[in-house]
Chains A and B, each alone.
Chain A
Amino acid sequence: MIGKIALVAFASVVLLFYVPFLALGYYITGGGELKIPSFSMVATTFLLAVLTAVVSIAVAYPAAYYLAKWGSELEFALVTAPLWVGTLLKAYSLLVLFAIVERFTGVALWGTAAGVLVGMVYEYLPYALLTLYAAIEKLSESPVNAARVLGASRLQAFLRVELPLSMPGVAAAFILVFLFAMGEVIMPAVLGAWKVYTFGSYIWDLYFKARDIFSGSVMSLILAALSLLATYVVVRTIRSLSI
């Protein structure tokens, strides 16, 4: 009984995910001339997404570790609060910050890949943090104690035991942030000032500037397929590495 309910639930989720793509198929059947994206644009998108995921995890891990071990409810609320703020609002507030930074240091972030990266990390950090928190919080204390008694310093115990045991959480955070970042439109548009051109921006332009619905639909499908493929590879790799 439970098995059947679970199967129905799983099937409907999968179905719901693919329905929009069926709609895209409707446009694709209309035909037209396909505008292939440049390789450098695909590479930029991919690199930005990977970097966003890596930097988010690198920044979020220590914070998640702190929260999981010693954090209070207030601290937890403080780090999750940014989720309440809309992406566009975050982007424009960063624009102001970038202007201030430029005024005082002379470093221009607006319209650069670095600026877009800062924006995307800012946007997705809470997701990475929550995912990592969940993974670290459920780690048992006793393997660490066992490592300590066997001669491991606090740092060695972390590197050899806790970190490997939290790898499933790292993988989950990576996939989550990477997928979000692959389809990102707002941050490259606002912070990259259309100079940092990503796959998301390209699809946006195809639909809303070129009004080329055929190419836009095909590109959306390609982006989704690429993301799914990348996710599959990451999941396989992590599975083979850890427990």
Chain B
Amino acid sequence: MGLSVELRDVTVKYGDFLALKNINLHVEAGEGLVLLGPSGSGKSTLLRAIAGLTPVASGKVYIGDKDVTNLPPDRRKVSMLFQDLALFPHLNVFENVAFGLRLRRLPEEEVRKRVVWALELVRLDPAQFMSRRIHQLSGGQQQRVALARALVVEPEVLLLDEPFSHIDLDIKSQLLEELKILHNKLGFTLIYVTHDRFEAVEIGDKVALMKSGEIAQVGKPVELYKRPKNRFVAEFFGEANILPASLLGAGRGGYAVVRPEDVVIGNNPTYKFRGQVIDITFLWHYLKVEIQSNGYIFKAYVDLETPISIGDVVEFGFDAKDVYFVEE
């Protein structure tokens, strides 16, 4: 049913470089957490520290109630999907999936049964694919084999390191959808690393946004979106207008964060501005309008049918309830 994962004051060093700085993180049993962040923010390192592939310099890692800080990866009851898949090219699909079962010395009949179960789970026809070589598979199929190999050992915790970053967008959303279903069905704890905020909200109940080896903010997607702790979170997690608080006459320092969908054109809002439209982009559900005003470029999402064109001078603004202030 999944085990909880907890990190207490975890620090990881690569030589003199501090890859992780005093990380504290708690993931509930069965929960889906996404580690989000720009490249080099330490999210993959954090995943590897949980898996036991990277030694921690200080701090503790717990899986369930057990301190696994000094346990090797093969004794942590986790499974992992790697960015480059790391399938075994010298083995066929069946033996790739059976790898973890063979190490557990299960009888041949049981191995066969569970491999078939896992392949069906990831929607690969066992009869058709079992004896294929890895290089005979498409990218999406290899992805599925890697997932089957990770799931067949019935892990308590499944770690995924940007596993879908090299495949087509359509197949990616399909796999994400299936992964979510499997997560609900099998109940393992899921920790998913990505640099893509769209992917992040598709898979995670909770998001931990990382920056330079630290966790900038953890919470539900809506919390990070509506109540970002700082400028970095506001900017990385969704588009934002970030203005000095002084510009709004708020009588305080720091910055004001306003999401583009809260910026309205006309309509007499609390804070009013006047500026010229410099760009309009069609984004399926709305138009993204960029307006230059007071030396800033404001982004607004407006209705598709809004009568507006580049060069127009418009009155626009936002309401006080849609402004969120951050310190830094």
Contacts and interface: CB of A to CB of B under 8 A. Distances in A.
Interface of A: 140, 142-143, 145-154, 156, 160-161, 164-165, 167, 242-243
Contacts of A150: 74, 79, 99-100, 103, 149-150, 153
B86 A152 contact: no
Nearest to B81: A146
Interface string B272-298: 000000000000000000000000000
Interface of B: 51-53, 72-74, 76, 78-80, 82, 84, 86-90, 99-100, 103-104, 135, 149-150, 153, 159
B86 A243 contact: no
Contacts of A161: 88
Contacts of B153: 150-151
A154 B80 CA distance: 17
Interface of A is mostly: helix
A152 B82 contact: no
B90 A149 contact: no
Nearest to A147: B99
Nearest to A142: B86
Nearest to B146: A146
Contacts of B88: 143, 146-147, 161, 165
Ranked 5 nearest A-B pairs via Cβ: A150-B100, A142-B86, A146-B86, A148-B73, A151-B103
Contacts of A143: 86-89
A142 B84 CA distance: 8
A149 B79 contact: yes
B90 A242 contact: yes
A167 B90 CA distance: 10
A119 B21 CA distance: 56
Nearest to A145: B53
Contacts of A242: 90
Contacts of A142: 82, 84, 86
B100 A145 contact: no
Given A142-B82, A153-B72, A148 B53 contact: yes
B74 A145 contact: no
Contact of A152 (B87, B103, B149, B159): B103
A143 B149 CA distance: 12
Given A151-B153, A153-B72, 7 more contacts: A145-B53, A145-B80, A150-B100, A150-B153, A154-B72, A161-B88, A165-B89
Nearest to B135: A243
A243 B133 CA distance: 9
A149 B89 contact: no
Contact of B90 (A146, A153, A156, A165): A165
Given A140-B84, A150-B149, A145 B90 contact: no
B89 A243 contact: yes
B88 to A, nearest CB: 6
A124 to B, nearest CB: 27
B154 to A, nearest CB: 12
B103 A145 contact: no
A140 B90 CA distance: 13
Contacts of B87: 143, 146
A243 B82 CA distance: 21
Nearest to B96: A146
22 contacts: A142-B82, A142-B86, A143-B87, A143-B88, A143-B89, A145-B82, A145-B86, A146-B80, A146-B86, A146-B149, A147-B99, A149-B73, A149-B74, A149-B79, A150-B103, A151-B74, A151-B103, A151-B153, A160-B99, A165-B89, A242-B90, A243-B90
Given A145-B53, A146-B86, A242-B90, A153 B80 contact: no
A139 to B, nearest CB: 11
B86 A140 contact: yes
A154 B75 CA distance: 12
Contacts of A153: 72, 74
A86 B32 CA distance: 65
A148 B86 contact: no
A146 B52 CA distance: 12
A153 B89 CA distance: 20
Contacts of A146: 80, 82, 86-88, 149
A149 B37 CA distance: 24
